[in-house]
Structure 1
Amino acid sequence: MRRRLAACVAVLLAVAGSVLMFVRPADAAVGLHVSGRNIVEANGQTFVMRGVNHPHVWFTNQTRAFADIKALGANTVRVVLGSGKRWGPSTDVGNVISLCKQHRLICVLEVHDTTGYGEEGAAASLDEAVDYWISQRSALVGEENHVVINIGNEPIGNTDAGQWTAATTAAIARMRANGFQHLLMVDAPNWGQDWQYVMRDNAQTVLDADSRHNTVLSIHMYGVFNTAASIVDYLDRFRSNGWPLVIGEFGWRTNANDVDHETVLSEAVSRGLGYLAWSWSGNTDPILDMTVDFDPGRLTSWGERIFNGPNGIRATAREATVFAGGTPTTPPATPTTGPPATPTTPPGGTRACTATYAVVGQWSGGFQADVRVTAGASAISGWAVSWTFPHGQRVSQSWNATVSSSGSSVTARNVSYNGTLAAGASTTFGFLGSWNGTNGTPALTCTAS
């Protein structure tokens, strides 16, 4: 009897061992995954997101955007999708993934319908977002090397933000129960900005809810993060706890109450954090657009800053190694842009620089304009653009230039980082202004040194 019992125990142990050996690979990392605070590829290579958000669900015909975003140096694109609750439904997930892979971009896919749930009456719940992902499962399974699933955009508003923890852990559990092995991304509550610190204070609970331990947290930085101190303190909390984090959205400072984008960029680079700026084009608020009408040859000041500025995408992006060889994205010596549409010639000699003016957004009493400065046949070390408004417009705020006004006469001079331009190279600056009655385009004069 004892011998038979021992034999049975041995059999049971062998079976148990074989079961353990069988289930273990299901727990192993597949494709993009979290390792400590970092995102790494299947081969163990660290991958740092450098990219932008593209509002695909509202502009499904703008598929050229994937190629254009890549051409400007990005290694990631966060794609806005709709579950059908408010937008969409996006049933072209397979095509979106193909476009990302074709243009060697890691694809972060997000359901936008969840934005502001609890405060926005039309918003979808995270549970409804998971329903959508399950409906698209056939297009997603097998793409773990190329796709990150951002379960729901800004999934809780400012009403009862504390519900975020339970809703997020439940969503992660359902994703895993339905066989998704992808790297999951979860946005903070408070419309993504976590000003009540629900995500910060419950991050470990959410990370522990993932049976695959493969979730990255995402903070969105806008007006809540308008000082360097607020940004540094928030990021320090995540670093000290060893939690994986990306900056999934952020805008830029057009007034003192806006996000301190310079600190966001410098801190992200120094800490090795991924960032995805908002957004490529198509905003109802054009100040956040990086391109005018989806045209990569017409970068706004925000687009110029993100792609070509210090700590920007061209300077810091590295392509994922999953794409044939993983060649690093190398920034060009100078920004590359199209020729100016209506060049102006400085008085008294050869053309040293040209400047073009474009209104990129206009509303009652106000507008945003961008000015592109392009060097002539020789390199320049500084520039100044002057004009006289024809209808009494006034500049109220500017960026990427030092602007002075006297009545309707305006002069804009380069700042320290954009005065030196190689022959034919361009830079842009922008401003906000006021108008009344007519907002006519002034003639520009560009002089260079």
Structure 2
Amino acid sequence: MRKRLTVAGAALLTLLAAVFAFVQPAHAAAGFSVANGRLYDANGTEFVMRGVNHAHTWYPQQTSSFANVKALGANTVRVVLATGDRWAKNSAADVSNVISLCKANRLICVLEVHDTTGYGEQSGAITLDRAVDYWLSIAGALNGQEKYVIVNIGNEPYGNQGYATWATDSANAIKRLRAGGIAHTIMVDAPNWGQDWSFTMRDNAATVFNADPARNTVFSIHMYGVFDTAAEITDYLGRFRSAGLPIVVGEFGFNHSDGNPDEDTILSYSQANRIGWLGWSWSGNGGGVEYLDMATSFDPTRLTSWGQRIFNGTNGIRATAREASVYSGSTPTPTTPTPTTPPPTTPPAGGCTASYTIVNQWQGGFQGEVKVTAGSAAITGWTTRWTFTGGQTVSQSWNAALSGSGGAYTARNVDYNGRLGAGASTSFGFIASWNGTNPVPAVTCTAS
């Protein structure tokens, strides 16, 4: 069982901001960079990761996963790779293809070596130094991709034994990568199976950051059973923010064999403080943690409850992800689409109105949202209807029972959002395809 420390028991391990004083570099035009504890893309635009982990090395045939997670709104995918020491090696050609899939789908690639997992405790795990050997051996696939790729040296590089050398080993690994010509932003994982219950990463992060000649390192904490209270989550992440050091939640779940993580606090605190996160994982889990699959059998139309929470829930991917500006060549300007049928100032008594918005659109696909508003009297249920005229087809929906025939669609409330007080609103969403044009249909609403 993994050891845990309470926040109260660790109170004396307070970080002093002075310990973390360092000089930040100017934004690197070649790729991602770090300044004042924030991550910036090659345009100098702040980038906050909102994405998922994908087990590519075990499921190399699942290349459609990149497009699928993008269609669900993600801006980043953390890709599992292997050195050949523990699992079959991902070649330079394979890594180049992974990067091309990320770029084709306008995703940022975080590439990680998984063979280091639990070193010192897990049989067959390799050292960070050995992981560096792998990265240098495939440098040809990485060089020139600094705008799109972040190099995560090794996943959960120590278990609960032998982790005292984490800081020295991490610093040496970073220096070797830089000496070998790797100019990317580097990500380092915490020890203790990624959860840092010993605070080894937290208390040595400044030393490791300053060991990077480029000052371009990001720290990654994995949040499972160790982080089962709001206090533990906010204390850990907050110390990095106060110290001006970049931190992301590189993995987390809504449940785990070692405890029940507080995923709501992870999501809300990260959103409030512009901290990146990458949920574990898209699909293909085994060994008793199959419940961490977000999609059943890699099918984006069969999201699990965990997948619905990550993509469609409060502070989830759809609500918070912003695409990296390097894919548009400039800083994106947020826009708010104008609904075709805005609700009147005073909705009709006993009835309801509905408005349709295109939230996000990409080549061949889009995310739509319909907002339902009750009239001047409460309602107990609602039904909306519309007809597509551009050949659009809905593939997935949430927060409504939706059916369609041809271009005609009907969406009815589900159990938890049918009752609306006078003037109150709710909304539901969907993913759909389009070809050629994507006109906005008129939507009607009938109350019950």
- 2:347 maps to none
The answer (yes or no) to whether the contact 1:378–1:422 under 8 Å persists in 2 is: no
Instruction: Find the counterpart in structure 2 of residue 64 from structure 1.
Output: 64
| Cα deviations by residue, 1:194-234 (Å, 9 ceiling, x for unpaired) | 00000001011100110010000000000000011110111
Contact 1:186 1:218 in 2 (8 A): yes
Residue 299 of structure 2 corresponds to 295
What is the letter of the counterpart of residue 180 of structure 2?
A: N
Contact 1:317/1:328 (<8 A) preserved: no
Q: Which residue pairs with 1:273 in the alignment?
A: 275
1:167 aligns with 2:136: no
The 5 Å alignment of 1:320-335 reads: 320-325=324-329, 327=332, 330=359, 332-334=367-369
Matches within 5 A, 1:233-312: 233-253=235-255, 257-284=259-286, 285-312=289-316
**Residue 59 to residue 70, structure 1, CA distance change in 2 (3 Å):** same
Cα distance, 1:254 vs structure 2: 7.4
Please state how far the C-alpha of 1:304 moved relative to its aligned partner.
0.8
In the aligned structure 1, how far is the partner of 2:215 from the partner of 2:172? 14
Greater Cα radius of gyration, structure 1 or 2: 1
User: Paired residue for 2:42?
Assistant: 42
Alpha-carbon RMSD across the aligned residues, in angstroms, is: 3.2
CA contact (8 A) 1:115 1:123 kept: yes
Kept after mapping to 1: 8 A contact 2:399/2:427 = no
For residues 419 and 167 of structure 2, the distance between their equivalents in structure 1, rounded to whole angstroms, comes to 47
Contact 2:152 2:186 (C-alpha < 8 Å) held by counterparts:
yes
How far residue 321 of structure 1 moved from its aligned partner, in angstroms, is 1.1
Question: Is 2:260 aligned against 1:228?
Answer: no
Instruction: Provide closer, same or farther for how the CA distance between residues 268 and 84 of structure 1 changes in structure 2, counting only shifts above 3 A.
Output: same
State how far apart, in whole Å, the 2-side matches of 1:58 and 1:228 are: 34
Alignment partners' CA distance in 1, 2:181 and 2:419: 54
Aligned ranges for residues 361-380 of structure 1 at < 5 Å?
374-375=401-402, 378-380=410-412
Q: Please, which of 97, 120, 135 is the counterpart of residue 95 of structure 1?
A: 97
> In structure 1, how many angstroms separate the alpha carbons of the residues matched to 2:429 and 2:290?
30
For residue 316 of structure 1, the aligned residue among 316, 320, 337 is 320
- Aligned-pair CA distance for 1:291: 0.1
Letter paired with 1:216: V
Distance 1:142 1:422, change over 3 A: closer
What secondary structure does 2:158 align onto? coil
Question: For the Cα contact (< 8 Å) 1:66–1:103, is it kept in 2?
Answer: yes
TM-superposed CA distance for 1:317, in Å, is 0.8
CA distance, structure 1, for counterparts of residue 176 and residue 140 of structure 2 = 16
Secondary structure in 1 matching 2:106: coil
Could you tell me which runs of 5 or more consecutive residues in structure 1 were left unpaired when the two chains were aligned: 1-24, 336-350, 354-370, 385-400, 402-412, 427-447
Letter in 1 for 2:296: V
Kept in 2, the 8 Å contact 1:352–1:375? The answer is no
Structure 2: distance between partners of 1:34 and 1:383: 46
Q: Distance in 2 between matches of 1:289 and 1:314?
A: 18
- 2:106 pairs, out of 90, 104, 107, with 104
Structure 1 residue runs of 4+, over 6 Å off? 413-416, 423-426
Q: What is the aligned-residue identity percentage?
A: 55
- Deviates further, 104-113 or 236-245: 236-245
Deviation at 1:422, TM superposition (A): 4.9
Paired residue total: 344
TM-score w.r.t. the length of structure 1 is: 0.71
What letter corresponds to residue 38 of structure 2 in structure 1?
Answer: N
**Secondary structure of residue in 2 paired with 1:58:** coil
- Give 1:171 shift: 0.4
Q: Is the 8 A contact 1:245 1:273 kept in 2?
A: yes
TM-score w.r.t. the length of structure 2 is 0.71
